[in-house]
């Protein structure tokens, strides 16, 4: 185990304990780690975007392949900086307009395909009473339908629609409960991971210092 690894792991342990110190109350150690991660994450993602976005999408096409038209989005991107000036901030709207137009245009068919049609397709299950799965398929179909009726406010939730909406909110509550339970388990898993990291640091340091 080299010294560099031990130092880096000790830094990670210190920062982990800094964040855990918030369980007591807000304190300078927590604020230190919090501000550090803000600066580091902003710098990290800026550099990753530079190497994985700007270089392959702008620099290489323009300088190596002669695809000059990649300068157009570059100019548009620079137009977003007009936001700094109150007088010229309207220029940034053109860049944002291109961004919005392309993004929403791509999103419409993809969202319909991925979220709506695929989910509806998966819900159209064979309903039968030869075994219990057929009954569960019917329950899934009814659950989806009633859940959607609950979110449908163009009709008053009265009579049959009201009954379906009532069943819908029951189904949704089960979904929210399951979602909450899974979230808690995920956080507990992360917590266990951090505790394991602390234990691993202890083992690493004792081995480096005393050889066991």
Whole-number minimum distance, CB 88 to other proteins, in Å?
Answer: 11
**Which CB sits closer to other proteins, 121 or 158?**
121
Distance CA 40, CA 175 (A): 37
Residues near 73 by beta carbon (within 8 Å), at least 6 away in sequence: 58, 98
| Candidate residues 1, 38, 124, 203; the one interacting with other proteins per rule CB under 8 A | 38
Q: Does 100 bind other proteins (CB under 8 A)?
A: yes
Whole-number minimum distance, CB 82 to other proteins, in Å?
Answer: 10
Q: Does 202 bind other proteins (CB under 8 A)?
A: no
Q: Does 194 bind other proteins (CB under 8 A)?
A: yes
Alpha helices in the chain (DSSP H): 3-20, 28-49, 60-63, 71-79, 92-111, 118-123, 132-150, 159-210
* Eight-state DSSP code of residue 131: S
Q: Does 205 bind other proteins (CB under 8 A)?
A: no
Q: Does 49 bind other proteins (CB under 8 A)?
A: yes
Indicate the length of the chain as a whole number: 212
Q: Does 155 bind other proteins (CB under 8 A)?
A: no
Part of the chain binding other proteins (CB under 8 A), chosen from 53-61, 154-162, 202-210: 53-61
Instruction: List the interface residues with other proteins, window 123-152 (CB under 8 A).
Output: 123, 136, 139-144, 146-148, 150-151
Residues near 27 by beta carbon (within 8 Å), at least 6 away in sequence: 21
Q: Does 122 bind other proteins (CB under 8 A)?
A: yes
SS3 call for 127:
coil
Q: Does 96 bind other proteins (CB under 8 A)?
A: yes
Tokens of 94: 């053109």
């Amino acid at each position: 185990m080299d010294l560099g690894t031990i130092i880096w792991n000790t830094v990670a342990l210190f920062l982990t304990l800094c964040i855990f110190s918030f369980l007591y109350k807000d304190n300078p150690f927590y604020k230190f780690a919090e501000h550090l991660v803000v600066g580091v994450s902003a710098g990290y993602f800026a550099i990753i975007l530079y190497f994985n976005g700007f270089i392959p999408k702008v620099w290489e096409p323009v300088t190596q392949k002669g695809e000059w038209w990649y300068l157009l989005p570059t100019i548009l991107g620079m137009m977003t900086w007009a936001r700094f000036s109150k007088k010229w901030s309207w220029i940034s709207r053109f860049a944002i307009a291109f961004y919005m137009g392309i993004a929403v245009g791509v999103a419409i068919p993809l969202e319909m395909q991925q979220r709506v049609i695929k989910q509806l397709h998966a819900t159209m299950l064979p309903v039968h009473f030869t075994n219990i799965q057929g009954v569960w398929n019917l329950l899934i179909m009814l659950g989806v339908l009633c859940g959607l009726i609950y979110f449908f406010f163009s009709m008053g939730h009265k009579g049959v629609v009201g009954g379906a909406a009532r069943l819908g909110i029951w189904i949704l509550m089960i979904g929210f409960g399951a979602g909450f339970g899974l979230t808690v388990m995920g956080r507990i898993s992360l917590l266990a991971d951090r505790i394991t990291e602390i234990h691993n640091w202890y083992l690493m340091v004792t081995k480096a210092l005393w050889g066991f």
